[in-house]
Structure 1
Amino acid sequence: MKYQEYANSIVFEVKKASIHVKHHHQDLSLIGTGRSACVFKIKDTNRVIKVFPKEFAHIAKEEADIYSMLTDIHYFPTIYETGPNYLTMDYIKGETLFQCVNKGIPIGEEHINVVDDILTEVRKRGLNPSDIHLRNIMITPDDQIKMIDVARFKQKKQDTQWEDLKNAYYRFYQHPLFPKSLPAYLLNFIAALYKKKLITVSKRYRRTG
């Protein structure tokens, strides 16, 4: 089956800025839902298809254009085919940083430094990496960093989210008394407070590695 047919098989319901999948092809398994798209693992392949509801279909082209500017940076998934409302790319095995904090999987300073280096390289391409959060950075089984979801890398406004996460890492995560793992509900609550600007991490830290 062609990828466009897979994309066409999906029936979305979008309510109150939340996406729900009502139906999809039997070859697809839903593995992730974001603000503007859902990601499905394609049966018997190492690929996923990211499909956008019609309300957000324009983002598919923008994200495809951004990935085309990052093709030689191996920290991003390879894109195989794009369409008016979908992208097909590598299935990346591993844990997001959100899952690492939730499960107690260590995040080393070397991981933070690699993300810094990736974002520096992205900026050299004339992009403005934005919306960098715990769910779009992954650590693979061989301890490599991968980044997903680049849809907002062309934003014009200055986004401090990664710097704030990095500062929280040095200020709290590396503290000897920081819990080995945090429940998902608490991480989501902290994220909600951050989005509402009810909490901030103002102190700036520099990398040591």
Structure 2
Amino acid sequence: MSWKKVIPLLQRVSLEPRPDNQLVKIFHIPAPLEIVGVGTDAVVVYHPQDRDTVFKVFAPNREQVWANEVEVYHKLGKSRWFPLLKDAYPGCLVLSYERGKTLYDCLIEGIPIPESVVEEVEEARRYARDRGLNPRDIHLKNVLLQDGHAKLLDVSEYLKSGDDGRWDHMVQAYRRFYPLFRGKRIPVALLEEIKRAYREWDGRSLPLTDWARRFLPAIFSDDPESN
């Protein structure tokens, strides 16, 4: 089906942004649309009659975020590392539906994350930089493991300046610690605890490897949820 036939349904999606970088609050998603993902600026939905397309519907007052993403996707063009922007209209992006497990889900489910995926993210970052972008805000929840390859999902901060260091820190932790627990399921509560602690870590009091090492006992605990 033509995605344009979905527009009347998309116009009935109701959501609002929330403070402190929380996920948007969803009031209504009309049937038969189904939610694929929820972010801090938008909700992603799809129509069951078009399994290759998703619609990213932005919350009110997120017009600049929408405009930024349109610009980024135009600069990225067609790439094996990023979703394809099929079309856009105010407040909504029409994107290719990218299936797979996020790296966050891989840790929860004990799915091994190959080194090649880390290397492909590095290639994707170079690709984006070559097109005048600044790939940042790359983390476990917006990198997919897709048929053994990497796919980067969220490009909303690629026009911002500065380096948040998140991906570089993840790579350090991956190469230093991940081989010790590759394939082991990590409880969601522990991952969320690590995420909260990371946000508080200032990078000056302790080197990253020393800071991260304190979580190893919890990873290797006998908690049955983590086995």
Q: What TM-score does the superposition give when structure 2 sets the normalisation length?
A: 0.82
Q: What does residue 61 of structure 2 align with? A: 55
Q: What does residue 118 of structure 1 align with? A: 124
Which has the higher relative contact order, 1 or 2, with Cα contacts under 8 A spaced 6 or more apart? 1
Structure number with greater Rg is 2
* Equivalent position amino acid for 1:44 in 2: Q
CA distance in 1, matches of 2:17, 2:199: 21
CA distance in 1, matches of 2:83, 2:76: 9
Which segments of 5 or more consecutive residues in structure 2 lack a partner in the other structure? Answer: 210-227
Check conservation: 1:58, 1:84, Cα contact below 8 A.
Answer: no
CA distance in 1, matches of 2:153, 2:207: 24
* Equivalent position amino acid for 1:83 in 2: Y
Check conservation: 1:164, 1:201, Cα contact below 8 A.
Answer: no
Cα distance change of structure 1 residues 58 and 81 upon mapping to structure 2, 3 Å threshold? same
Q: What does residue 76 of structure 2 align with? A: 70
Q: After the TM superposition, which of the residue ranges 40-49 and 91-100 deviates more from structure 2?
A: 40-49
Q: What does residue 213 of structure 2 align with? A: none
Partner of 1:69, secondary structure, is helix
Check conservation: 2:112, 2:183, Cα contact below 8 A.
Answer: no
Q: What does residue 206 of structure 1 align with? A: none
Partner of 2:196, secondary structure, is helix
Q: After the TM superposition, which of the residue ranges 153-162 and 11-20 deviates more from structure 2?
A: 11-20
Partner of residue 35 from structure 2, selected from 30, 36, 40 = 30
CA deviations over 1:85-144 (Å, ceiling 9, x no partner): 11011111110000001100000111111111111111111111110000111011x212
Cα distance change of structure 1 residues 201 and 172 upon mapping to structure 2, 3 Å threshold? farther
Q: What does residue 151 of structure 1 align with? A: 156
Partner of residue 107 from structure 2, selected from 74, 90, 101 = 101
Matches for 1:1-209 after TM superposition, within 5 Å: 2-16=5-19, 17-45=22-50, 46-140=52-146, 142-175=147-180, 177=181, 180-197=184-201, 202=208
Partner of 1:32, secondary structure, is strand
Q: Indicate the percent of aligned positions where both proteins have the same amino acid.
A: 29
Check conservation: 2:18, 2:40, Cα contact below 8 A.
Answer: no
Check conservation: 2:16, 2:24, Cα contact below 8 A.
Answer: yes
The structure where helix makes up a greater share of residues is: 2
RMSD of Structure 2 on Structure 1 (CA) = 1.9
Q: CA deviation at 1:186?
A: 1.4
CA distance in 2, matches of 1:186, 1:117: 30
Q: CA deviation at 1:179?
A: 6.8
